[in-house]
A and B are shown apart, each in its own frame.
Chain A
Amino acid sequence: GEQVEQRPPHLSVREGDSAFITCTYTDPNSYYFFWYKQEPGASLQLLMKVFSSTEINEGQGFTVLLNKKDKRLSLNLTAAHPGDSAAYFCAVSASSGSWQLIFGSGTQLTVMP
């Protein structure tokens, strides 16, 4: 089945710097990809959903890159601020028809003032 590997597990950056998180997946038939943010004690907040037909997606303060050839999904937080401190998870929608999300192991991001 699908396996998703996420790096790094922990990331500390200074306010204003970029934060880059990467996931690799194994199933070439995967079609939907997600990035979630989880603040302490809170549930998962969807940042962005991307489709396999779109490579670069820009959100508010971040960019998501999808490289289908390398089976790699990336999240780049540009000009991070302390409010971005949280756990970030990538997720891939399984292509088996069960619509389950397979999650990466998460990245704990700390943005220092």
Chain B
Amino acid sequence: ETAVFQTPNYHVTQVGNEVSFNCKQTLGHDTMYWYKQDSKKLLKIMFSYNNKQLIVNETVPRRFSPQSSDKAHLNLRIKSVEPEDSAVYLCASSRGANSDYTFGSGTRLLVI
């Protein structure tokens, strides 16, 4: 099966903890992304990663960092979570701008 796979589906953690979310795509795409969807369902780009080039949305706090071992994987690490980090984090991939973007099923984070 070819798709974008995210783990975990849900994660509950306390303020100040470190968390890491995994994303893997088996579509042969060359670009991967992380989006944040907040409680109002607003979707904001956080990072895009293509050919070892990382593009960061300047509004993303520095406690967030993407980690990639190869073009099929783009994980998301949050060093010290805060309550406002509670959201759904969606991973996506594409082959440049010419192909459809495929989204993973998302990781729902709750910070208590």
Chain A residues close to B by CB (< 8 Å): 31-32, 34, 38, 42-44, 46, 49, 87, 89, 93, 98-103, 105-106, 108
Given known A-B contacts A42-B105, A44-B90, A103 and B97 have beta carbons under 8 A apart: no
Instruction: Please give the distance in Å from A42's CB to the nearest CB on chain B.
Output: 7
- Contact present for B100 and A46 (CB under 8 Å): yes
A-B contact count (CB 8 A): 50
- Contact present for A98 and B41 (CB under 8 Å): no
- Contact present for A106 and B42 (CB under 8 Å): yes
The 0/1 profile, CB within 8 Å of A marked 1, for residues 40-51 of chain B is: 111111001010
Contacts of B101 in A (CB 8 A): 34, 46, 101
| Interface hits, B37-75 → A, CB 8 Å | 40-45, 48, 50, 55
Contacts of B98 in A (CB 8 A): 32
- Interface size, chain B (Cβ < 8 Å): 25
- Contact present for B103 and A44 (CB under 8 Å): yes
The answer to the question of B21 belonging to the interface, with a C-beta cut-off of 8 Å to chain A, is no
- Contact present for A103 and B100 (CB under 8 Å): no
Contacts of A49 in B (CB 8 A): 100
Instruction: Please give the distance in Å from B36's CB to the nearest CB on chain A.
Output: 11
> In the complex, A43→B28 CA distance in Å?
20
> In the complex, A89→B41 CA distance in Å?
10
